[in-house]
Amino acid sequence: MISEDSAVVRPPVLRPGDTVLLVSPSGPTSPERVARGMELLTGWGLRPVPAPNAYARHGYLAGTDDLRAADLNAAFADPQVRGVICTRGGYGAQRIVDAIDMAAVRRDPKVVAGFSDITALQLALWRGARLAGVHGPGAAWRDERTSLRSAESLHAALMTTEPVTVEAVPTEETFGVRVPGRATGTLLGGNLCLIAASIGTPDLPDLTGAVLLIEDVQEPPYKVDRMLTHLRRVGALDGLAGVAVGQFTDCGDGWETTIVDVLTERLGDLGVPILGGLPIGHGPDQLTVPVGTTATLDTTTNTLQVTPAVR
């Protein structure tokens, strides 16, 4: 259990002129897909540099495990690199997290941004270095999904030290998932599939007193049920302070049971406040939140307020 931000490592805020390395710890991407992200980062005054193997490809992976791990470790070891921004998710981060040089991370903490499969990387960095991270869009930017609001949210999380506030949106499918109340605790989690996949590894965090963040994409209700049931059975959800429910995008199937039904049934009896409808995840207008810092969830104001990941 982590009860105070003093136990959390918050890396320095990014400033104009800082170099950020673009890495691909998971699935493959291309220069064409990353070009828009580089344009945004450059517009903020940052110096985005693709890692040597950022565009490598090895089947469904962005290069071999050795190459992907080498890029991450090079970023953590290079004093000129002040931030690490993942290009995309996909799959593969879990294959390399045990090769991360945690001593280098602890010597020179840097902000790490990404989401989806990058949840595995952020959980590992929390385990190995208590490093706070940024759950937000990657550099393979798509304007049709991540709007100007999404860009402004990522910019604020990376380049300011203001608290981050996300308001639940009635039009989000998960807005109806709620248990009234107010909860404060360390915000941990991210993509539900990766949280569940960390069961039995050193990376499943102790969620006692934490606010759990969950979101996912293209997982039918019965699979979400299975993941939440697994987490319940191993005791991972015992002692939670609250649950922040983000976007569950394209998670329908042919059955009458909806994703809202499953989330309500599997989470609603935990006896803690739950706030759904947060635009965090794989859906349109995705917003950015820190993970690993103190958050307050309030169903009266429909907000999740989070201490910045940077200092």
Active-site residue identified among 116, 150, 153, 198? 116
> Is residue 310 left, alpha or beta, with left meaning phi > 0 and alpha meaning psi from -120 to 50?
beta
User: What pLDDT is stored for residue 104 in this prediction?
Assistant: 98
Q: Which of these CATH numbers, 3.10.50.40, 3.30.460.80, 3.50.30.60, 2.30.30.240, describes 164-306?
A: 3.50.30.60
Q: Cite the residue boundaries of each domain of the chain with CATH code 3.40.50.10740.
A: 5-159
- Known active-site residue 282: yes
Q: Cite the residue boundaries of each domain of the chain with CATH code 3.50.30.60.
A: 164-306
CA angle 250, 293, 147 (to 5 degrees): 40
- Strands (DSSP E) found in the chain: 19-23, 47-50, 81-86, 111-114, 133-135, 164-167, 178-179, 182-191, 211-217, 242-249, 274-275, 289-291, 294-298, 303-306
What is the CATH code for 5-159? 3.40.50.10740
Mean pLDDT along residues 104-124? 98
Confidence band of 22 (pLDDT split at 50, 70, 90): very high
- Predicted TM-score (pTM) of the model is 0.96
| CB of 278 closer than 8 Å to CB of 211 | no
User: Using one digit for the tens of pLDDT, what is the confidence trace for 252-301?
Assistant: 998 999 999 999 999 999 999 999 999 999 999 999 999 999 999 999 99
Active-site residue identified among 172, 173, 215, 219? 215
> Which two structure tokens, joined as six digits, stand for 9?
């490592």
User: What pLDDT is stored for residue 1 in this prediction?
Assistant: 52
The contacts of residue 178 (CB under 8 Å, 6+ apart) are 274, 275, 276, 277, 299
DSSP, collapsed to helix, strand or coil, labels residue 180 as coil
Q: How many CB atoms lie within 10 A of CB 238?
A: 11
Give 57's DSSP letter: -
- Known active-site residue 4: no
